[in-house]
Structure 1
Amino acid sequence: MSEPIEINSSEVAVKFLDQFDNFLFDCDGVLWLGTHLLPHTVEFLDLLKALGKKVYYVTNNSTKSRKDYTKKFASFGINVEEEQIFTSGSASALYVRDSLKLVPGKDKVWVFGESGIGAELNKLGYEALGGADPLLNEPSTRLSRPCQWTGSCCACRRCGARHEGQLPQTRGHAAVLATRGHRFVCWDQRGLHFPPKGAHLARCRVDDRVPCLFLGRRPAYCGKPNMNMLNTIVNSQRLDKTRTCMVGDRLNTDVRFGVEGGLAGTLLVLSGIETAERALAVTEEYPRPHYYAAKLGDIYEMYQKSKKA
């Protein structure tokens, strides 16, 4: 890939926006920081709409459903339809239906995660069990399982800890999953590592005490930067990759998502965790973006100046 281009002038800003018809945005660190909306975010998104661009939002945060996200967008004064939002939870639910071909109303899905994935599965007609069920806090052994499970299922699991999670819940999930060769769908693989004795743990923090136990099998991943999620978005929205740009604040997830997915463009904004030095660095650890800018608001301001010139 050629040297990343800094969007630092009106001319570059106009060229950048003219190059793409579709934009995929990460949210936190790009549009907002926590509860703080970044400057000119609304104006920039309105500009894209006025230019006839299609805008979608892509996040690995599975704690919220798409409906929940529309409310968060609305709290910032941004009008967004559910169909524009792709969470790792909603992508997992679509993967269950479209790739695994599980039948709504017949096949059941066991959830190890928050309520967001359960809501997305329910919307597609699946019965989602497990999740935050209080019975999972009770001791579980091979002879005594508080949550009985019958029938075929795909276990949708998040490679990360539930904030309210407890170790007994992990044992409860594992006791159910160990009984059959269920298929795993996981929606976040950051921090995956492999401890001894074959136990696969992912994003485990000692204080959370909720390891995601894969029982020696790799799941299918449906979160950034994995292609299952990108394929879901591209296929469902019929996007032309040669006219699509991924915008994010992380090199190892957002930029990798776009580069490895074959999108024509990637934009790294420095309003999150990355720096210009890292964006320009040549390393095997992560790919370089096609473009980078301090923040979206700067691109908006530069574009506006070009129209006044």
Structure 2
Amino acid sequence: MSLTVVVNCGSWMNKLITKMFRMSFTNLVKQPKEVITQFMNSFDTVLTDCDGVLWLEEEPIEGSAEVINTLKELGKRVFFVTNNSCKIRDDFVKKAKKMNFKCEKDDIISTAVGPEGLSQELELVGIKSIGVGPDVMQTSFKNTLEEFKADPDIGAVVVGYDEHFSYVKMFKAATYLSNPNVLFVGTNSDEQYPNRYDYIVPGTGTILIAVKTAAQREPFIVGKPEAYIADFIKNEYGMDPKRTLMIGDRCNTDILLGTRCGFQTMLVLSGITTFKEATQRKQSKKQEEKDLVPDVYLEKLGDLLLPIHPSKRKQAKNECQNVVKVRRALFEPIDHEETQKFLEQELSKQSVNESEKWEFDFVNERPLKTKGRYEWTVVNSSSAPDLEKPRKKIEEVYDTSTLYPQTLSTPKVDGEFEKKEENSAVESMIVDGTPPKDSNKKQSLITGKSLYVKMFKAATYLSNPNVLFVGTNSDEQYPNRYDYIVPGTGTILIAVKTAAQREPFIVGKPESYIADFIKNEYGVDPKRTLMIGDRCNTDILLGTRCGFQTMLVLSGITTFKEVTQWKQSKKQEERDLVPDVYLEKLGDLLPYLN
């Protein structure tokens, strides 16, 4: 009698490779060729993030298109899973194909689109939307409050990437969310977006956390790494998790999504997460940190091209000559020759884009021959309106008392507009969100700029560890007589903190700085001191920390219901918020004083 044993060596080896690499943060290209081959055979489906993995803005990362196209040629099913697309899927396909990626509409899984794209997607399913485009204060915040009329038909607030995000938009969103029947949806929680300038570009997560802080509500997040998109991917496409590879540049979204879904995971270091951060998480004993550790990593996705398709390496190099390799280092010497080449490329590209946009040849000063939306007419210069006004020299300063830029006007200098260089000696970044006071003076920079631009600048300055990060206070809301939700400094502070990934030094209530200052400067007897306030997490907590007696008035932010819940809580941090006594309003004390 003979016995024949058949062993599926490929399946056994694939399982061994998968187990060997599991959450090990292994440099894949340094493995033997046979190991890399087995790894490539261990998955059939690829889910790849886009920004920071395949491209940076409008430029492909070297070799990324060739790797993706080769994976498709090898029979792998490839999906583009993105949290950051400012386009609808049709436009996304055009962008990908322009950079030589083989991509079809059904290959795209996008949970986050920019405001214009989001509006179009909603319109396709019959849902009306408002809020697209700039929405800034034209005069004063007082007038904004008086003129605002809430739309009764608003049923949801959807927070996605918005380069026009402003204090007014945050105020309106938080006010609508004070209605518990209004849904609160966030497209994703990405803190930063990768870019080729080495700047800190705030992600949707910075906007989302600002609105969340102002509204005091938790959003339903549909993007990576939340359960919604994980369940959608598995149920919609019926993929085998064990034979699926998730590729990303961000551990707390891409890699965590893969971990939660049971996928294999690959991190590329061409985007957000750094080698140092991933190494620290690998060494951590906290499970929530270890869940962020990828199986394997690469410096960039293009490094995989040689191991999987050596013959395409030379071709990839030739096709990637237009890839921008210069990156501006804010706090290091600049390669001026490379920067000059880069600027010339960008200006040339911008000129082409502007010509296509306006259907006009600005170099030769004549309309394009293509027929489109615009019809250009020659007019006599004497009858044309005078659009060019003398411009004053304006210097934007991040003042120590307000986040809103102060404008310093000086006599006209050759009609040129000047501002401080990005590398100027900014020594501290102080964030205070007090709305600007009424003023009859023109605020030439205030009304035209979004809060998003200021967050970008603040976070970029704070990427220099020598720049101090100071917050005046962490108040989430400001009381007002309109029953609206007016966002406090804390909403702006937490957005900048999220983008910059740094902790601020807070000087206001209830932090120790002001507590120590009060006791040392005025020599008060804590036991004979009464702290009166309308907010438990600042006023009352300050009193508790200083050993003062505390009185809460219910005429401001904190409600009776909230205090009752904290009083019944078993958590010490919540019980510290409970005041000794309370009043409906401070005036109720007047008869007893008389």
TM-score normalized with structure 2 length: 0.41
CA offsets per residue over residues 73-104 of structure 1, 9 Å max, x none?
Answer: 021022311221122237xxxxxxxxxxxxxx
CA offsets per residue over residues 179-214 of structure 1, 9 Å max, x none?
Answer: 45222221122459xxxxxxxx96159xxxx93246
| 1:166 Cα offset (Å) | 2.4
| 1:26 matches 2:25 | no
- Given that residues 130 and 173 in structure 1 are in contact (C-alpha distance below 8 angstroms), is that contact kept between their aligned partners in structure 2? no
Q: How does 1:245-260 map to 2 (within 5 A)?
A: 245-260=245-260
Q: How does 1:9-158 map to 2 (within 5 A)?
A: 9-89=32-112, 114-123=115-124, 125-132=125-132, 141=145, 145-146=148-149, 148-150=151-153, 153-158=155-160
Residue range with higher mean Cα deviation, 9-18 or 270-279 = 270-279
- Given that residues 149 and 176 in structure 1 are in contact (C-alpha distance below 8 angstroms), is that contact kept between their aligned partners in structure 2? no
Residue 237 of structure 2 is matched in structure 1 by: 237
Q: C-alpha distance in 2, partners of 1:2/1:89? A: 28
Q: C-alpha distance in 1, partners of 2:187/2:53? A: 21
| 1:292 matches 2:292 | no
Q: C-alpha distance in 2, partners of 1:86/1:233? A: 8
Match of 1:6 among 15, 27, 32: 27
- Given that residues 250 and 272 in structure 2 are in contact (C-alpha distance below 8 angstroms), is that contact kept between their aligned partners in structure 1? yes
Residue 219 of structure 1 is matched in structure 2 by: 219
Q: C-alpha distance in 1, partners of 2:271/2:85? A: 19
| 1:133 Cα offset (Å) | 6.2
Q: In structure 2, what residue type is equivalent to 1:7?
A: L
User: What is the percent sequence identity of the aligned residues?
Assistant: 30
Q: C-alpha distance in 1, partners of 2:52/2:297? A: 14
Residue 175 of structure 2 is matched in structure 1 by: 175
Change (3 A) 1:255 1:2: closer
Residue range with higher mean Cα deviation, 267-276 or 232-241 = 267-276
Residue 267 of structure 1 is matched in structure 2 by: 266
Q: C-alpha distance in 2, partners of 1:251/1:36? A: 23
Residue 97 of structure 1 is matched in structure 2 by: none
Which runs of 5 or more residues in structure 1 are unaligned?
A: 91-112, 193-200
Q: Secondary structure at the match of 2:156?
A: strand
Higher normalized contact order (CA 8 Å, seq sep 6+, divided by chain length):
1
- Given that residues 155 and 185 in structure 1 are in contact (C-alpha distance below 8 angstroms), is that contact kept between their aligned partners in structure 2? yes
Q: C-alpha distance in 1, partners of 2:80/2:183? A: 27
Question: If you compute each CA radius of gyration, which structure gives the higher value, 1 or 2?
Answer: 2
Q: Secondary structure at the match of 1:301?
A: helix
| 1:236 Cα offset (Å) | 1.8
Q: Secondary structure at the match of 2:81?
A: strand
Q: In structure 1, what residue type is equivalent to 2:42?
A: Q
Q: C-alpha distance in 2, partners of 1:291/1:180? A: 44
Q: C-alpha distance in 2, partners of 1:306/1:282? A: 38
Change (3 A) 1:306 1:73: closer
| 1:4 Cα offset (Å) | 2.9
Change (3 A) 1:173 1:48: same
Q: C-alpha distance in 2, partners of 1:50/1:202? A: 36
Residue range with higher mean Cα deviation, 265-274 or 169-178 = 169-178
TM-score normalized with structure 1 length: 0.75
Which runs of 5 or more residues in structure 2 are unaligned?
A: 1-21, 193-203, 313-594
Q: Secondary structure at the match of 2:246?
A: strand
Q: In structure 2, what residue type is equivalent to 1:303?
A: I
Across the aligned residues of Structure 1 and Structure 2, the Cα RMSD in angstroms comes to: 3.1
Residue range with higher mean Cα deviation, 210-219 or 287-296 = 210-219
Q: C-alpha distance in 2, partners of 1:122/1:278? A: 41
